[in-house]
Amino acid sequence: MRLCVLDLDGSVAAQPLFLDRRAAGAATFVEMRDLAPQLRLTGGRRAMEAFLGRLPPPGRDADMFFYGSGDFHHLTAGLLRRIDEPVTVIHLDNHPDWLTFPPTFNCGGWVSRALRLPHVRKVITIGPCSPDLAAPDLKGANLRALADGALEVYPWRHPPSRLLSARMSAASGWTGNTIRWHNVGGAAWESFLSDLPRRIPTRAVWITLDKDVFCEPDALTNWDQGEMSLVHALVLLRRIATRHRIVGMDVCGDYSPARFRDPWRRFLAFTDHDCRRVRAADHAVINARANAQLLRLMEDIFRERPE
């Protein structure tokens, strides 16, 4: 496994474990702060191509990327372009990121962009609790993908969502004009883990994790946060690795102050971001601890995996 730290906002590049790996020649650091103003929250095609052009070429080994704030989560749609085989995306997040508009790379709609890639067979989103799941048809959710089974969403905890239109989809729990979500928190977690392998149609799996899926003891992010614990995520990753081949992973959700030059991104941040203030001493320690546990688990998984 190759470790790659993408320095977009300064939130991950100074973390001790990554610096140790860099000093040992076991990590690649890529400077990208100059691209961040064109990529944060949303980015055009030119900005995405510039981002992809900075990455080291794909190699024989799987890559694990750490790249800072969840404001950059749409970069996953670019990273998936580097995969050359059918793949299922396991998406851990407090938000579904399933919007169908605007037609840009943006952190609220990257799942729909990823599903356009011919080799992405399915996205399975796990853990959201956010209000994004309420009235999804009014908010521009990709309900077509949900109905077709190309997208499955398993909240940690969320009440049924009402729709304006009536449709049916057995996979999503959608009957008539109500989606009765298959919540996976609490007592349902173990049965969900047991059932998950049959939901994954490919041997290859890409993991994308936004730490806002975690409760606050395990992460501090730029967004409202969910209820999953880090331990739950570690167990999930280990289970997936026993039945499927993880071909790559990206991790975001570190906290960084959002400063915008243009009014549009400033408006998006004002309307979507959690406006709480986060002390640097808190987020630096908490997020670095979570990143370290995720990295060490993945290193163990790839060390144990037969060639």
Q: Determine if residue 198 is left, alpha or beta; phi over 0 gives left, psi from -120 to 50 gives alpha, anything else beta.
A: alpha
Distance, in Å, from the CA atom of 196 to the CA atom of 224, rounded to the nearest integer, reads: 26
- pTM for the model: 0.94
pLDDT (0 to 100) of residue 298: 97
pLDDT (0 to 100) of residue 225: 95
pLDDT (0 to 100) of residue 141: 95
Question: What mean pLDDT, rounded, does the chain reach?
Answer: 92
- Contacting residues for 265 by C-beta, under 8 A, at least 6 apart: 40, 41, 42
Q: What is the pLDDT of residues 256-297, one digit of tens each?
A: 987 767 766 666 665 666 555 666 668 889 999 999 999 999
Q: What is the pLDDT of residues 155-182, one digit of tens each?
A: 999 999 999 876 766 566 777 789 999 9
For residue 248, the cross-strand partners are 63, 206
pLDDT (0 to 100) of residue 165: 76
Tokens linked to 105: 């790379």
